[in-house]
Amino acid sequence: MDDIAQAFRATRIDLLDFFADPKEQRSFAARVPYEDYESEFFCWWFDDFHPHSELFSRAFVASEIDTLSTFSAVWERESILFGQSSRPIDELLSTNGWHSVVEAARHALLRFTDGAA
């Protein structure tokens, strides 16, 4: 794996780790104010989520891309249910939809750490 793919891989896994940790999300929000955290976090993930791209195939094996795609599908489904309203961090963290995103991120991380991704 080349340096660019390795760095990209690390950023994706770091984001999964962040999305799996509501305490870290709350800590981030205390330092960086946004009106709508779900939308901001969504952009962080989906702006660079192109699982069929050459960079993804250099950074991840097929089963890992499937794991990331499963996580993304959960988030996309929940994002539709969130609608277009702004969500401060406490409101976001209290929603069932965000709990689903957090759990999906945790599940994906477990697959990476278990080598099952």
Residue 79 has what pLDDT?
Answer: 86
pTM to 2 decimal places: 0.91
| CA–CA gap between residue 29 and residue 51 (Å, rounded) | 28
Nearest residue to 87 (alpha-carbon basis) of 21, 39, 17, 30: 39
Q: Is the pLDDT of residue 117 over 70?
A: no
pLDDT single digits (tens) 40-90:
999 999 999 999 999 999 999 999 999 999 999 999 999 887 767 788 899
